[in-house]
Structure 1
């Protein structure tokens, strides 16, 4: 592929390097290799490789189309990760305690994995419930809160966080790194640690969403992101924290 490429040969690793360590052997094949986790850039395992940082993004070709519904719905969809089961169950219980409807989708039919969830009635399981991108967009239009759980193998921000920014949804996450970004506002994003969600959630839910400056929102669009990757001026530079 590189032999037939006139321009720079560029890669983007949209998941943590520790989660996919086999990626390391391909880094030097590329002219530029982007990662979304600022910790990867300073990781001693990659000091002999030139990594560049950039965030994930939202797809701006889909315009938000809010759908009216009753109640308040919190939405999470993600693969099963054993290390975050306890956090998912704790967060779900606190949301229910505060009168929030849940739409938590974990698309696995593996019974051993499902059995790790003690309150499985809260969640939607089954490989048949795996949703594609267009279905995810429909869901984003009809919910109120996006819930995000950090993967213990990386510290980068998931796509959910940028979708919350674009669709103007409240976000509940245990990824503390989100506070280092220019779009962070405590009325819009609730960061919780271990078991302190119950102390914070009522006040957070009582506050209205605070609109974020349009220029900041646009910075994290796919349209601006791809210009960063390909160095197609003009664009608004996207940086990772501490970069």
Structure 2
């Protein structure tokens, strides 16, 4: 008699769509995967009074009606589920301790993945003890809170190195405290006559010739098209961020050079100064033309192997 597939529950706030790659990789390994993406939940305030009240209560740290709704819907989706082999959470700081405990009571194993600094999302500290294993992208958090270190993953690969491109440098970012840095780098590339595609999600108006503002998010498919059309990727890390972003792993998988502000990247096994340019001083940006114009150097396959999504998911379920 054929054994039933093991059930993996993946609970994420998948605002960019990258976590679906985790679900797909697990399904490819013959797990039965239930992916609950609570970013897709649509909450409607009962009235303007509730919306106004929620504005004050969430900022005071009392209650967030949207988060209450997320918890209720998630639990309702699991009413008929009796047993879960592994429950994997990403962005669990949105969830209450009661919700996590109720789900974990049905789960043989619980795993939390923290993809950002705990300083940025301090509520995460309150739930660390609820999980059997906690992975973090941030080395300093792993040391401070005794967590297991894990990087981001490669979800898209290229079989060959491209030679023809529409753009030299590509970046896509939200409008946040990184914007002044992105703007400086974009301006530097512009003065070097380097053709770039640098997109910022913002409702603001843009007057600079070296930036594009988009009022609505792009799909992963649209982003992937720009990745394919670009020779070099630009990665600007958040303030005090040490963990590596998806831009880094997209560049690895697609065999593209990278310009980054993340200084810790030099400590990784795939680092090669011929492929990766680290901007050390944002006030004095230097981008050598030899870096821009020389070809990409292959990274050994045995190094790339562990970052591929199909291998990356292994220690989540084993």
* More RCO (CA 8 Å, sep 6+): 1
Q: Deviations over 1:179-210 (max 9, x none)?
A: 00010000100001123433x42121132110
State the Cα distance separating 1:230 from its structure 2 match.
2.3
Would the alpha carbon gap of residues 66 and 108 (structure 1) be closer, same or farther in structure 2, given more than 3 Å must change?
A: farther
Mapped partners of 1:94, 1:157: distance in 2: 23
Task: Give the TM-score normalised by the residue count of structure 1.
Answer: 0.81
Q: Deviations over 1:210-239 (max 9, x none)?
A: 0010111121111111013223xxxxxxxx
Mapped partners of 1:94, 1:85: distance in 2: 14
Do the aligned partners of 1:219 and 1:225 also contact (CA within 8 Å) in 2? Answer: yes
Matches within 5 A, 1:72-221: 72-82=167-177, 84-109=178-203, 111=204, 120-128=208-216, 130-194=217-281, 195-198=283-286, 200-221=287-308
Mapped partners of 2:171, 2:165: distance in 1: 18
State the Cα distance separating 1:40 from its structure 2 match.
0.9
Would the alpha carbon gap of residues 65 and 131 (structure 1) be closer, same or farther in structure 2, given more than 3 Å must change?
A: farther
SS of 2:127 mapped into structure 1? helix
Do the aligned partners of 1:38 and 1:156 also contact (CA within 8 Å) in 2? Answer: yes
SS of 1:95 mapped into structure 2? helix
Mapped partners of 2:270, 2:140: distance in 1: 20
Do the aligned partners of 1:19 and 1:154 also contact (CA within 8 Å) in 2? Answer: no
Q: Deviations over 1:136-171 (max 9, x none)?
A: 222211111100001004211001001101101110
Task: Give the TM-score normalised by the residue count of structure 2.
Answer: 0.63
Mapped partners of 1:68, 1:155: distance in 2: 32
State the Cα distance separating 1:42 from its structure 2 match.
2.5
Whichever of the two has the greater Rg, that structure is 2
Aligned length in residues: 215
Mapped partners of 2:237, 2:314: distance in 1: 27
Mapped partners of 1:221, 1:134: distance in 2: 19
Q: Gapped runs of 5+ residues in structure 1?
A: 232-243
State the Cα distance separating 1:97 from its structure 2 match.
2.1
Are residue 52 (structure 1) and residue 148 (structure 2) matched? yes
Matches within 5 A, 1:9-20: 9-20=110-121
SS of 2:197 mapped into structure 1? strand
Mapped partners of 1:160, 1:73: distance in 2: 15
1:237 match: none
Mapped partners of 1:141, 1:94: distance in 2: 23
- Bigger share in strand: 2
Do the aligned partners of 1:75 and 1:102 also contact (CA within 8 Å) in 2? Answer: yes
